Amino acid sequence: MKINSPLEAYKYLPQTNCGECGEATCMAFASKLIDRSGKTTDCSPLIKEKKFAKKLEELDRLLAPEIKEVEVGVGDRAVKIGGDDVLYRHKLTFFNKTKMFFDVTDTMEEAALVERVKNIANFKKFYVGRHLLLDGVAIRSVSNDPAKFAAAVKKVAEVGIPMIFCSFNPEVLKAGLEAAKDANPLLYAANKDNWKEIGELALEYNVPVVVSAVNDLDALKTLAKTFAEAGIKNIVLDPGTCPTGKGMKESFTNFLKIRRAGIMGDTEIAYPIMALPFTAWMAGISDPVSASYWETAMAAVFTIRYGDIMILHSMEPYATIPEVHMAETIYTDPRTPVAVDSKMYKVGNPTADSPVLFTTNFALTYYTVESDLSSNGIDCWLLAVNTDGIGVEASVAGGQLTADKVKDAFDKSGFDLKKDVTHNTVITPGLAARLQGDLEDKLSANILVGPMDSGRLPGFMEKNWPPKK
């Protein structure tokens, strides 16, 4: 992105404040363009009126990310990779978190193939208010037989998740493309030996393609430039991923060089990068647990610097869970704390006699408290107070959690302490004990100071609930 101020984007807008974009003013819409929550296509006058055509073209150029954004797959499960503007997330944020594809081969027994693909497609891990998923399937042609590869592709395509076709044989890739037309798979890969045939396939079927040159950045840049000049827009780079020793250090350094050059304006190499942690299984490690461990370590390294998409093998929980957690953490926007909606939640099946508690709407705090309550069978009402996504201790110190804020949260939730429960009592977090007096005045309720740690709530409830009258 060549601009970072709403005022700069505003200059290219109609400035009529028509509201068709859903915002009250063009300046508000300009702010959405800068933080990528809005698109120029949302502005009807800019799109429809010919007099704005040049401004639209220039604005799109200025707003385009430094790293090309590439889409793989179709439908709801389609994934976007690349699209970053910075080298370090604290300067803005990273967009489009690392996408993780898990491999199958065209030599697998059909039942085993189908089972593994379903496991990939159905993987789901709840984490801080959202579900973490795996992104797709990489189909590797081990047989080098177009017919076998096409059969495997058909089976995978039935599940409807994004695919990577892996072969250096153009005939094999073509068979896969014919078997899954309109699925928009990523082709892996074009190299110095097959670039012409693979490039023709990418153009003919209009699909994204990986260009590969192991540990040779000059050749990689040449391939990418050649494909771009041929009209292929959706390109992914594979500089090689060596799993061990000096080679791994060189791979890591190559990733850094490519991303730095792209962010600094070298458009000929400003594309998403592919990492291949599954090569850990080819490093001569005989123990599957050790191979999984090393694959996970590689995935962590290249999630941080700067793998946009990767192919993995191990589906063991001790491998996949750290991998998806790492990607989720690195690609969480540091400008916006992860928060839940500020409202009254039911934990279990509360009644009018059940306790009422509150905490902040910082997602990690809320889900920790909610988990400690629900896992111990405590039916209750839990109010999430809007503290701009800040935890209890920090929000009390910073003034985001006050008695007035708590009262406002109760009012907005529509929960009446005198009508909806029989005890008119609220349990406050132990870290917010200093608010007890103010809360009693504001809420006209009995305030119990809870434990400092929500993990101690079961013991606290045994001693203090129901409240003494």
Task: State the binding site.
Answer: 18, 21, 26, 43, 359, 365, 389-392, 454
Which three-class secondary structure state does DSSP give residue 456? helix
| Tokens 């209750």, located at residue | 380
Q: 315: which 2 tokens?
A: 């589906």
- Give binding residues for 5-methoxybenzimidazolylcob(I)amide as ranges: 359, 365, 389-392, 454
Q: Cα separation of 36 and 17, whole Å? A: 19
Angle at Cα 128 formed by Cα 127 and Cα 132, nearest 5°? 30
Does residue 344 contact residue 359 with C-beta atoms inside 8 Å?
no
Contact 378, 457 (CB under 8 A): yes
How remote is the C-alpha of 211 from its chain's centroid? Answer: 24
Phi, psi of 284 (to 5 degrees): 80, 15
Listed residue (136, 137, 77, 74) closest to 108, CA to CA: 137
Q: How far apart are CA 94 and CA 99, in angstroms?
A: 13
The C-alpha atoms of residue 75 and residue 161 are separated, in whole angstroms, by 9
- Provide the token pair at 439: 């809360």
Cα dihedral 122, 125, 126, 128 in deg (nearest 10): -140
Which burial class, exposed, middle or buried, applies to 45 when counting CB atoms under 10 A from its CB (0-12, 13-18, 19+)? middle
Query: Long-range contacts: 221-225, Cβ < 8 Å, 24+?
Result: 221/268, 221/269, 223/190, 223/191, 223/192, 223/195, 224/268, 224/269, 224/271, 225/268
Contact residues for 197 (Cβ-Cβ < 8 A; gap 6+): 170
Q: Is the peptide bond before 24 cis (omega within 30 degrees of 0)?
A: no
Q: How many CB atoms lie within 10 A of CB 4?
A: 12
Asked if residue 466 has a cis previous peptide bond (ω within 30° of 0), the answer is: yes
- Helix locations, 107-243, DSSP H: 110-122, 146-157, 170-179, 195-205, 217-229
**Cα separation of 437 and 135, whole Å?**
51
User: 464, 466, 465, 403: which is closest to 432 by C-alpha?
Assistant: 403
Question: The tokens 């404040």 sit on which residue?
Answer: 17
Binding-site residue set for [4Fe-4S] cluster: 18, 21, 26, 43
